[in-house]
Amino acid sequence: MAGYRDKTAAAVSLLLAAVLLTACSQKKETPDAAGGPNTGAPGTASASSSVPQTAPAVFHLTPASNATEVNPVTPVKIAVTGGSLSAVSLTNFEGKQVKGTLAADKQSWSSAEVLGYDRSYRLQASAVNPAGQLTTSDSTFSTLKPANMTMPYIQTAAGGAVNPGVTFGVGQVVRVHFDEPIPDRKAAQAALSVQTVPAQVGAFSWLDDSNVYWRTKNYLKPGTKVTVTAKVYGKDFGNSLYGQADVSTWFRVGAKHVSIADNRNKMIKVYSNDKLVRTIPTSMGRDVRIPGDHGLIDLRTNSGPHVVVGGEKDIDMNSASFGLSKGENAYRTKVPVGVRISYDGEYVHWADWSVAQQGKVNVSHGCLNVSPANAYWFYDFSVPGDIVDVRNTGRTLAEWNSGYWNVSWAKWVADGAA
């Protein structure tokens, strides 16, 4: 009997062990509240669990590494995701550092100065992810090489310098002279700007492929500040002709000086801020055409608003300068003082030899003869950009000859490239 009991007890023990094993297995497979397998009591770790790895920071470059023909005015940028920048360096291959700005959140950096044409650059950066893992980036790129470059010069219409803070008259016209012909006028004009304070309507107008002029619709207001800017660097003006450097200057507008010289009465009425301040008798160009070196020469003074070029002393007046080098009408003389009003040699000037004719009859070769006293007074009164408006001579002042105000506003705008 004892052997039977022993066998029976062993069988019962095996059965209980199987039941317990089954119960434990069922409990292990019971889903938890979220629908996933229950891995045991909260706060306990499975023997098979592992700590997840933090991804390294990722760089985003502009321009891309090994890029070529990069425009030097395009900002160089580097941004990072999954981390923050710890250091950025942009240098040319001579080792010169390019200035840059790091964003407050350290997620991006941007260059803060333009680059050079036809140069190579190296961009190095490092960043750390939240786990403190360091990642680095090292890239290179090169900028474009222009086929040619052009330099803009901001000048008066007559070609004089516009020094910052200089004072001009209300009729001053500004010229931007490019030292290379411009294939794409529209692109070049888009790089130019003029600001007037107080604001006034103005526009650019081209006379040829190298010279673009700016004037207002009406005469400038006294006291106006005019700022002219040519932002040409990095701009393609056609056929890979790029701007060489940006330039800017400004000037003030002085009192309104407008003189009206009427051929009908041979008088010059001089106005300052629309108030008549002096009446000057004059003798203008004779109404004749005479033989010159290259054909007939018209001696009449040109009609229309002339933009004063400037005052001069000890002027060497030589008729050969306008094609009259010989014959009884040819001359060469020294004039003590005068004010030039056109590019082909018209002046309001000292003429002691024609005082008796001044205010009565025209005897000159085109200039406005005035007495010595009036010549000195007018010299002291005038500044470049003043207006001398000659009327009723029968001959029209050409645009190229300082006759910019003789051009209608509609034509002026139409000759622009906007």
Indicate which residue of 257, 306, 349, 365 is catalytic.
Answer: 349
d(CA 394, CA 401): 16
- 349 flagged as catalytic: yes
Indicate which residue of 257, 306, 365, 367 is catalytic.
Answer: 367
d(CA 270, CA 260): 7
Q: How far is CA 206 from CA 34, 166, 181, 341, in A?
A: 77, 25, 12, 21
- 257 flagged as catalytic: no
Contacts for 293 with CB less than 8 Å, ≥ 6 apart: 320, 323, 324, 325, 326
Residues facing 136 on adjacent strands:
126
d(CA 417, CA 206): 8
Scanning 46-158, the segments in alpha helix (DSSP H) are none
Find out whether 393 and 406 touch, Cβ atoms under 8 Å. Answer: no
Q: How far is CA 404 from CA 82, 130, 199, 218, 383, in A?
A: 62, 67, 21, 12, 17
d(CA 271, CA 256): 8
C-alpha gyration radius of the chain: 42
111: region left, alpha or beta (phi > 0 left; psi from -120 to 50 alpha): beta
| Active-site residue list | 349, 367
